Every structure is written in C-alpha cells, then in structure tokens.
C-alpha cells in the first residue's frame, strides 16, 4: 500500500514539473481572456502569487483605466510583456513582479494587462 502512495506522489511531481515547464500562453492565442487566464494559472503555479491581470483586450483595459468620470478613480495601464525564453523573466517574476508588495501596489494603482510573446505567432497579435 505504501508503494501506491509513493507512486501517486511521483505522478503528482511529474505533473508539476510538466506544468511548470509549459509556456504561459498557448501558441497562436487569439482570445485574450484564454491567454490571460493561462498566464495567471502558470504564474500562480510557478511563483505562488500573481498580479491581478485585466481580463480582456488592451482596448478594454484602456477604456476601464481612462473612462471613470471621477479623475481620482482613473489609473494608468501597465502593459506587461512576457517572454518565457528570456532567462531574466523567471528572475524578474520570482523576485519582483510576483512579490506580495508589488502585487498589492499594482492592485491599488494600476490596471495590469499582460501579453506573452514566447511564440512568434503571439508577437504579431
């Protein structure tokens, strides 16, 4: 019986390794919400935390940022461009971008819209 537990734990570890090695966005991502949800799940898996990303198009993020009538409610849009092939992306995300201090600050002061350019097809979107 103990062997089954170890086998299941090993299966779980293989799944975690497989997921953490996957790219944040699907190739040829044409639906922003699908891509952003995928990036959020990937970041939460890799870094245990993730900024709150705006779920929609960049145009919608800009409208949400600049349309409030009360000027104090307007916030700038922070566009985060991720490339999973960059060695520094992991360091930046782990030590800065996904830290609770930065996440809290961004939540209060910005609308964060992400995009992933790991695949050439997403660079042209």
What are 68-106's pLDDT values in tens digits? 899 889 999 999 999 999 989 999 999 999 999 999 999
Task: Say how far apart CA 15 and CA 88 lie, in whole Å.
Answer: 24
pLDDT of residue 29: 83
pTM for the full model?
0.77
Gap between the Cα atoms of 33 and 12, Å rounded: 28
Most confidently predicted of 56-60, 66-70, 119-123: 56-60
pLDDT bracket for residue 22 (50, 70, 90) = low
Domains of the chain: 2-123 (3.40.30.10)
């Amino acid at each position: 019986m103990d062997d089954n537990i170890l086998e299941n734990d090993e299966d779980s570890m293989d799944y975690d390794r497989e997921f953490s090695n996957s790219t944040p966005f699907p190739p040829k991502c044409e639906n922003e919400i699908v891509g952003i949800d995928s990036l959020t799940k990937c970041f939460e898996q890799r870094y245990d935390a993730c900024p709150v990303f705006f779920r929609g198009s960049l145009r919608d993020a800009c409208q949400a940022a600049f349309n409030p009538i009360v000027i104090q409610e307007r916030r700038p849009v922070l566009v985060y461009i991720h490339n999973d092939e960059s060695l520094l992306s992991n360091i930046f995300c782990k030590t800065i971008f996904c830290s609770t201090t930065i996440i809290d600050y961004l939540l209060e002061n910005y609308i964060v819209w992400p995009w992933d350019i790991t695949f050439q097809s997403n660079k042209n979107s």
